[in-house]
Amino acid sequence: MVCKVHTNAGILDVLNPDPERIRIEDIAQSLAFLCRFNGHVKFHYSVAQHSLLVADLVCARHGPALALTALMHDAPEAYLGDLISPLKAVLPEFGRMEDILARAMAAKYGLAFPEPAEVKAADLAILAAERDQVIAPTDRTAWRELPPPPPGLVIGPQAPETVRSLFLKRFKLLASGRGPA
């Protein structure tokens, strides 16, 4: 089976991804313009902005070793979209496609695979902050148990172009081994 998506670098078969067609510029562009929570937010809040926060938290809690993996933890969404968790739960094939892309990206960029527990914990802590600050008013009882949000974290709107630039800058710093910005 072939499942092709169009990118700025051409076409990528997400079931058999060619690492040469996976480009950080495409990932940054897509994630910066891709709104989390299907757009049910108080302001435009991108997957890239979320990823930067997760990378910051992982770095603060555990040092820079997993920060690049944290920054890239949602990178497959650049090619597949940000499918909300309730839908992922009933579409197991989607999870398989995410894993194929995540494995290819891990090999290309030297990321940890599967996602380490430290990254998942930071992701959930940021989700708790997003629930309180970003998502349009919601019934909090519908949410799974989340850890407390990081103290003092304030999330505000950022332009997609700004977030794309920040994402690329952070990626280059972390990939070079120079640490976080």
What is the pLDDT at residue 137? 72
Q: Is-contact 122 143, C-beta < 8 A?
A: no
Q: Is the pTM of this model over 0.75?
A: yes
Query: Helices 160-176 and 47-62: crossing angle, nearest 10°?
Result: 40
Q: What is the DSSP string of 82-126?
A: ---HHHHHH-HHHHHHHHHHHHHHHHHHT--SS--HHHHHHHHHH
State pLDDT tens for residues 25-77.
999 999 999 999 999 999 999 999 999 999 999 999 999 999 999 999 999 99
| pLDDT of 21 strictly over 60 | yes
Domains and CATH numbers, the chain: 23-96+111-176 (1.10.3210.10)
What is the pLDDT at residue 2? 66
3-state SS, residue 35? strand
Q: By C-alpha distance, which of 119, 138, 12 is closest to 71?
A: 119
CA distance 113 to 4: 23
Chain-centre distance for alpha carbon 165: 15
More confident residue, 33 or 15: 33
* Residue 4 pLDDT grade (very low, low, confident, very high; cuts 50, 70, 90): confident
